[in-house]
């Protein structure tokens, strides 16, 4: 564990980021930090600084707005992410996508493995790839292990939309963007999404754009 008298370069970087106050700038695809495997968190930020950083991630996620944010997205290569989804969507969307509310959570050093063979395919987007969405087929249920922000073990099964969120955010920590896993023929601009593809499932988009669903 680091000590305040031996501040790490990452701690300096985070202090610098937090000095600005308010939501942090989100880095976009093309920044190498989004393509590197983030360092496991091992006390590089002392507890008070970690708490301030997590709060800044929460504020930034809300401001974006988004339902998840990984530390590399603000330029910090540590295996830390936050998630939270109020799931304020119409009933038919909630049912089709399994989009149930997900309370605020901090994931430290998370990893996941699929549970069962079922896959679900839906449009998803990323705050680091603004203006676009694409369909990604992912395991419908995953087991997530890791730690919370207090260092307590996390071992939990997620399904539906929350499972999608934890996979997307954990992937960020491995330098993977959702586009790496996407059906590229489904790539759609924000405008096309709003005008054409608001259905609860991507079935119509698959037929019209010519891509397969699981």
Site stretch for Zn ion (CB under 5 A), options 55-63, 81-89, 125-133, 189-197: 125-133
C-beta separation of 163 from 140 below 8 A: yes
Residue nearest to Zn ion (CB): 126
Residue 193 tokens, joined = 């999404």
Toward Zn ion, which CB reaches closer, 87 or 129? 129
- Count Cβ atoms within 10 A of the Cβ of residue 198 and give its class: 0-12 exposed, 13-18 middle, 19 or more buried: exposed
Alpha helix ranges (H) inside 82-189: 91-97, 160-173, 178-181
Toward Zn ion, which CB reaches closer, 11 or 139? 139
Q: Is 126 in the site for Zn ion (CB under 5 A)?
A: yes
Q: Is 14 in the site for Zn ion (CB under 5 A)?
A: no
Catalytic annotation on 204? no
Residue 175 tokens, joined = 């330098």
Residue 97, marked binder: no
CB of 8 to Zn ion, least distance (A): 25
Report the candidate in 101, 115, 91, 104 with the shortest Cα–Cα distance to residue 167.
Answer: 115
Residue 168, marked binder: yes
**C-alpha–C-alpha distance, residues 52 and 207, integer Å:** 47
84, 140, 169, 183: which is the annotated catalytic residue?
169
Footprint on this chain of Zn ion (rule: CB under 5 A): 126
Instruction: Enumerate the active-site residues.
Output: 169
Binding-site positions read 126, 168, 172
């Amino acid at each position: 564990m680091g000590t305040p008298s031996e501040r790490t370069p990452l701690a300096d970087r985070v202090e610098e980021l937090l000095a600005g106050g308010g939501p942090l700038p989100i880095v976009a695809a093309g920044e190498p930090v989004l393509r590197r495997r983030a360092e496991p968190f091992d006390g590089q930020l002392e507890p008070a600084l970690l708490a301030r950083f997590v709060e800044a991630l929460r504020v930034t996620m809300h401001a974006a707005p988004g339902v998840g944010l990984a530390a590399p997205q603000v330029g910090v290569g540590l295996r830390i992410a936050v998630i939270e989804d109020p799931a304020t969507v119409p009933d038919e969307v909630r049912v089709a996508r399994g989009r149930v509310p997900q309370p605020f959570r901090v994931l430290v050093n998370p990893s996941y493995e699929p549970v069962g063979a079922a896959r679900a395919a839906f449009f998803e987007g990323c705050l680091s790839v603004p203006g676009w969405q694409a369909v990604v087929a992912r395991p419908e249920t995953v087991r997530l292990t890791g730690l919370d922000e207090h260092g307590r073990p996390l071992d939990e099964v997620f399904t539906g939309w929350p499972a999608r969120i934890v996979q997307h955010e954990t992937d960020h920590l491995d330098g993977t963007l959702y586009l790496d896993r996407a059906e590229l023929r489904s790539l759609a601009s924000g405008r096309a999404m709003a005008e054409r593809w608001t259905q609860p499932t991507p079935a119509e988009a698959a037929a019209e754009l010519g891509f397969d669903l699981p």
